[in-house]
Structure 1
Amino acid sequence: MTVLHSAPRITSNDGVLDALSSTLGNLLVSGREEHGEIVLTIKREGIEDALRLLRDEHEYQQMMEIAGVDFPQRAERFEVVYMLLSLTRNHRILVKVSTDENTPVPTITTLWPNAGWLEREVFDLYGVKFAGNTDLRRILTDYGFEGHPFRKDFPLTGYVELRYSEDEKRVVYEPVELAQDLRQFDFLSPWEGADYVLPGDEKAATPPVNEPKTTESPKQTGAGAKTDEKAEEKVSAGSPAEEDTAIDNDAPEPTEDRPDRPEREGGAKDTPAATEPEDGKDDA
């Protein structure tokens, strides 16, 4: 039995960008197709109206996710990205707005109630404010947390750490104390080399000696006839060993100078004959 479904398995982007751009009109800042997806940049103050048009007129019924992105080098450093899904068309699009640390973005909780939790997450991690959200509180970090962890200028180790104190019987905050400093690893190719000078490499930048020092004459080495004469005067001149050591004339002669001893005359018998008993006698 063949089952037919209104949504295609693979949806093409052909004509989608032109149709959405025509509907959004002046609300649209830019639109492009990137990495196989339609990306729309909307004016910040018109984000609620733009998303309402996309939901009602182009059947993007579900708002799947809200994410934040931080670009510190920009004047409006934050981007809020809305990910929409059309169930009837089996198609996804990305909608973006830009803002800074102080300018709030209009809330879209009037369109999708689940946006309240997602806007709180972006507020908690990036510090982006949403005008009209009646419950804009931190949702992932702990009570009393300072700063926004997903900002690029947030320190990697944080400022304080949380632990339970057995002495005070409560949860306490303390300054972060690291057993060792945070290490920065360099994953550049060893064939290309780093852009900065590594410790110890500053010695390699020392220019070589243009004229190496040589010893072409005895004067440069300190050698010569006068030096040899001074060396002879100092060798064993009046040393204690020569003055105090006496020669012992009563010392024994070396053993190698003594005459050999004469051979002994004895009646030693061969071993077997000496150990065998005589005839007629038993061993004792």
Structure 2
Amino acid sequence: MAVLHSAPKYASNDGLLDTLGKALGDMLVESREEHGELLFTVKRESIEDALRLLRDEHEYQQLMEIAGADYPSRDERFEVVYMLLSLTRNHRVMVKVSTDEDAPVPTVTTLWPVAGWLEREVFDMYGVVFSGNPDLRRILTDYGFEGHPFRKDFPLTGYVELRYSEEEKRVVYEPVELAQDFRQFDFLSPWEGADYILPGDEKATGDAGAPGAPPIDDPKTTAKPEDTGAGEATDKKAAERESAGAPAEEDTNVEDSGAPAPTEDRPDEPARKGKSADTAKATEPKKGGDQ
């Protein structure tokens, strides 16, 4: 029995970019389609109204995720990305806002209560502040954690390290102490090579005129037979055999007697006794079709 469902298997983006862009109106900063998805950048102070419009009037009922992104070179280095899903249309859109370390983003917990947890995660990882969030605390890092780990300028080792103190019988925080200083790496491609001479490689700089480097621009030529050792004298010398006159090469006038006679002479084995038949008959099917 065929089951019919009102929702399509997949929804097309045709016409939605212009339709949703016109609906957002003055709240919209930029809209584009990228990698098969619709992206709308709206004004930071209008994010709550924009998401309410998409939820109530365009059937994007579900808030799937709130993510962050960090672009340190921008004036407003952070982006907050809201991912919406329409259950009736089976379609997704993304809405973005930009902010910096100080400007707060209005909360959307008034639209979706689950946004409280998602905003706390973005606050913890990036340091973005959400005004109106009733419980804006760290959610993934520990109490007293310094910094925000997903920022591009966050050090790989962090600011503090923790250990258990046997003297104080508790976990204590201390400044990070490295066992050795950081080494500086140039991260150049091994195929391109470095701009400096590596230790122990001073003679092989790759320049044709450098000391010890082969003259690759001046190939060696062998115009005379003397340079290669070839010639008539060499051919005559090669024809002479060092083994000439050896006893092995003398003609003894003895005919080849052929292969030696067998050294073992035994009679044929007697016929096998018993009920077993020979191989040919044993492998043939019996009469009547029985195997």
| Match of residue 89 from structure 1 | 89
Supply the AA of the counterpart residue of 1:139: I
| Match of residue 238 from structure 1 | none
Question: Quick one: distance in 2 between partners of 1:128 and 1:155?
Answer: 18
| Match of residue 33 from structure 1 | 33
Closer/same/farther in 2, CA of residues 36 and 181 from structure 1, 3 Å limit: farther
1:144 aligns with 2:144: yes
Question: Quick one: distance in 1 between partners of 2:93 and 2:184?
Answer: 37
| Match of residue 42 from structure 1 | 42
Q: Determine helix, strand or coil for the equivalent of 1:22.
A: helix
Closer/same/farther in 2, CA of residues 181 and 10 from structure 1, 3 Å limit: farther
Closer/same/farther in 2, CA of residues 209 and 50 from structure 1, 3 Å limit: closer
Supply the AA of the counterpart residue of 1:164: Y
Question: Quick one: distance in 2 between partners of 1:81 and 1:171?
Answer: 36
Deviation at 1:146?
Answer: 0.9
| Match of residue 10 from structure 1 | 10
Question: Quick one: distance in 2 between partners of 1:124 and 1:79?
Answer: 14
Task: Using the aligned pairs only, state the percent identity.
Answer: 76
Deviation at 1:202?
Answer: 9.7
Closer/same/farther in 2, CA of residues 67 and 197 from structure 1, 3 Å limit: farther
Question: Quick one: distance in 2 between partners of 1:183 and 1:87?
Answer: 52
| Match of residue 234 from structure 1 | none
Closer/same/farther in 2, CA of residues 178 and 41 from structure 1, 3 Å limit: same
Supply the AA of the counterpart residue of 2:40: L
Closer/same/farther in 2, CA of residues 209 and 2 from structure 1, 3 Å limit: closer
Question: Quick one: distance in 2 between partners of 1:162 and 1:42?
Answer: 41
Closer/same/farther in 2, CA of residues 78 and 168 from structure 1, 3 Å limit: same
| Match of residue 170 from structure 1 | 170
User: Which segments of 5 or more consecutive residues in structure 1 lack a partner in the other structure?
Assistant: 211-284
Supply the AA of the counterpart residue of 1:75: D
Where in structure 2 are the equivalents of 1:33-182 lying within 5 Å?
33-181=33-181
More moved, 115-124 vs 167-176: 167-176
Q: Determine helix, strand or coil for the equivalent of 2:51.
A: helix
Alpha-carbon displacement from aligned partner over 1:209-252 (angstroms, at most 9, x marks no partner): 79xxxxxxxxxxxxxxxxxxxxxxxxxxxxxxxxxxxxxxxxxx
Question: Quick one: distance in 1 between partners of 2:132 and 2:145?
Answer: 23
Q: How many pairs were matched up?
A: 209
Deviation at 1:165?
Answer: 1.6
Question: Quick one: distance in 1 between partners of 2:21 and 2:146?
Answer: 41
Question: Quick one: distance in 1 between partners of 2:74 and 2:200?
Answer: 36
**CA RMSD for the aligned pairs?**
2.5
Where in structure 2 are the equivalents of 1:254-269 lying within 5 Å?
none
Alpha-carbon displacement from aligned partner over 1:236-272 (angstroms, at most 9, x marks no partner): xxxxxxxxxxxxxxxxxxxxxxxxxxxxxxxxxxxxx
Q: Determine helix, strand or coil for the equivalent of 1:21.
A: helix
Q: Determine helix, strand or coil for the equivalent of 2:17.
A: helix
Deviation at 1:178?
Answer: 3.4
Q: Which has the larger radius of gyration?
A: 1
